[in-house]
Amino acid sequence: MSFPPENIPPEEYPATSLPEETSLTEQQPQSPSIGRIPLDVVETLVLAFALYCAIDAVLAQVRVVNISMLPTYLPGEFVMVNKLAYKFGEMERGDIVIFHYNESEDYVKRVIGLPGDEVEVRDGIVYISGRPMIETYLNEVPSYVGKWNVPEGKLFVLGDNRNQSSDSHSWGFVSVDEVVGRAVMIYWPPPQIRFFARE
């Protein structure tokens, strides 16, 4: 350690530069002006509407109101429907679809016959072009008999609760154009939440 010589007056010591003190002024957050609030509300509403339209273009929600799809669906359950399922993929036998039955009602049924299929029901078994279907999801086997040839652009649909279902065996085919989408999950009530894989 070195010290300045004693014969040098303090006022002649070499000057050292010290950092200048920086003064900080706290910036208070600016409250939005009164004129900005309506614009923020409009922007929020537009964003919410755009988000709703995007979700509505992809998904639909259907409430089950009858027993025609027991035991797969129970009355009161809410089903999520993929509306793009057949925009980018093919319909398959066994799919559960939602379709417009009339102007005020949508139905939930299972696709049994595709265009060009011959559907026959006998001895409690469904045959597709002579081949029996294995249906593990049924509430009970059908007690009726019949044979149907599915035209182009049409579907033959049945409920899983075969003997308590109003479906193609009683009123005919469904137009492919009337199909809303494929049921993919139950989302309400929470204890019943589950996804549906294709059979």
Backbone φ and ψ for 151, nearest 5 degrees, come out as: -75, 165
CATH number at residue 187: 2.10.109.10
Which range of residues forms the domain containing residue 96? 62-195
Whether residue 98 is contained in a domain is answered as yes
Whether residue 150 is contained in a domain is answered as yes
Whether residue 178 is contained in a domain is answered as yes
Q: Which of 23, 109, 129, 170 is catalytic?
A: 109
Supply the pLDDT for residue 103: 85
Whether residue 33 is contained in a domain is answered as no
Whether residue 48 is contained in a domain is answered as no
Tell me the residue type at 1. Answer: M
Q: What is the mean pLDDT of residues 87-97?
A: 92
Whether residue 166 is contained in a domain is answered as yes
The total domain count for the chain is 1
Q: Which of 68, 154, 165, 168 is catalytic?
A: 68
Contact 196, 179 (CB under 8 A): no
Q: What predicted TM-score, i.e. pTM, was given to this entire model?
A: 0.73
Whether residue 8 is contained in a domain is answered as no
130, pLDDT greater than 90: yes
Buried b / exposed e over 65-82, threshold 16 CB at 10 Å, is eebbbbebbeeebbbbbb
68 part of the active site: yes
For residue range 46-84, list pLDDT tens digits in order: 666 666 565 555 667 889 999 999 999 999 999 999 999
Q: What is the mean pLDDT of residues 137-147?
A: 95
165 part of the active site: no
3-state SS of the chain is CCCCCCCCCHHHCCCCCCCCCCCCCCCCCCCCCCCHHHHHHHHHHHHHHHHHHHHHHHEEEEECCCCCCCCCCCCCCEEEEECCCCCCCCCCCCCEEEEECCCCCEEEEEEEECCCCEEEEECCEEEECCEECCCCCCCECCCCCEEEECCCCEEEEECCEHHHCCCHHHHCCEEHHHEEEEEEEEEECHHHCEECCCC
Tell me the residue type at 41. Answer: V
